[in-house]
Amino acid sequence: MTLREKVEKRVAAFLDTCRRQGVKATHQRTEILRELAGSEEHPDAETILGRVRRRVPAISVDTVYRTLRLLEDKGVIARVGSMRDRARFDANTDRHHHFVCTECGMIGDFYSDAMDRFPVPREVSEMGSVEGVYVELRGICRKCKQKAMKTEGRTGEQP
Amino acid sequence: MTLREKVEKRVAAFLDTCRRQGVKATHQRTEILRELAGSEEHPDAETILGRVRRRVPAISVDTVYRTLRLLEDKGVIARVGSMRDRARFDANTDRHHHFVCTECGMIGDFYSDAMDRFPVPREVSEMGSVEGVYVELRGICRKCKQKAMKTEGRTGEQP
DNA sequence: CCTCCTCTCGTAATAATTACGATTTAGTAA
DNA sequence: TTACTAAATCGTAATTATTACGAGAGGAGG
């Protein structure tokens, strides 16, 4: 299957998702996805805007950002790297990794020898030389989980 | 060794680094590092500013941001998550990971079964439930490496 | 074709981070 | 200690990515 075909398949699948979920399958959305699906280089929003504009000259920044968020929410595309808006810092200089709560942003350190010395796949050695590993486990922390339970379980306790 | 002692050790080490590298060991820098080293919660710049202000009321935002960058450059602290300023997107929905060039920002995809199904350390299970793994290998890509070679090797070629 | 509701456009607002010019301070050596 | 100088800080303004908003356009179903 050629790249062009792959792209069209992804686009078609997205159009389907739209119909099923009552979301409008607009020209702009289609072109944004088409652009992204046909690219290997993980472009940023501005780059995508520039490229899509060649085909849809009047498209706006807002639309691009909104669409990218939409596609991300539907699981059609992914955001690379940290999803947080503000930088967070860490004074722990020992080699370690992080657990991040996607609900409240809590970050915990942990140690894993195995993750430190991950064997580098050949694929990667061909891209360049690896100098560091960044591992982030993502999930829901204890506190948020308990909070969620309580909220669900609202069945008659007094305020 | 108590936490307080650890913190002071880190601070002392930093003051040493300053002297050796001709960087000034200011009160503000010391307090920022002291705050960060004594914290387990990976605070953001604003939080650090607020806390340090209790002890150094006139400290400015600029100083905090500048100092954090300095400490990061010296390897005294680390930034959690992505270091990039703009979001990057990825339409590859297959389970995969990324290689990122810290020089030019190039991003490449790769696949690793081993990394996908990594056993979650007990430490982490105690923090919460893990729902996803994000792995990023960082280094220098082929292209940047070649460029660096050429630049180094400037020994007599004409412009 | 018509209506409704969602989506888009253009631009303004927001929020994190960085830059700037005047002033202060650490480091150093007399 | 004092004096000197480069570097750092302060307060604020500028910059940059991203999000919000109001008016109008367009897709989907009747």
User: What is the domain range of residue B15?
Assistant: 3-73
Contact A127 B142 (CB under 8 A): yes
What lies within 8 Å, CB to CB, of A106 at 6+ separation is A100, A141, A143, A144, B41
**Same domain membership, residue A53 and residue A9:** yes
Shortest CA distance to A71 belongs to which of B105, B81, B90? B90
Looking at residue A51, which CATH number applies to its domain? 1.10.10.10
Residue A42 within a domain: yes
Q: Which pLDDT score is estimated for A150? A: 77
CA-to-CA separations, B105 to A47, A148, B39, B68, B91, in angstroms, rounded: 14, 38, 31, 21, 17
Mean pLDDT of A13-42: 92
pLDDT exceeds cutoff 70 at B159: no
Looking at residue B111, which CATH number applies to its domain? 3.30.1490
Mean pLDDT of A60-79: 94
Residue A85 within a domain: no
**Same domain membership, residue A14 and residue A56:** yes
**Same domain membership, residue B106 and residue B65:** no
Residue B24 within a domain: yes
- DSSP label of A100: E
pLDDT exceeds cutoff 50 at B68: yes
In chain B, positions 104-143, which contact chain A (CB-CB < 8 Å)? Answer: 106-112, 114-115, 118-121, 123-124, 126-142
CB pairs under 8 A between A and B: 223
φ and ψ at A131, to 5 degrees? Answer: -120, -10
What lies within 8 Å, CB to CB, of B55 at 6+ separation is B31
Residue B82 within a domain: no
Residue A79 within a domain: no
Confidence of residue A84 (pLDDT cuts 50, 70, 90): low
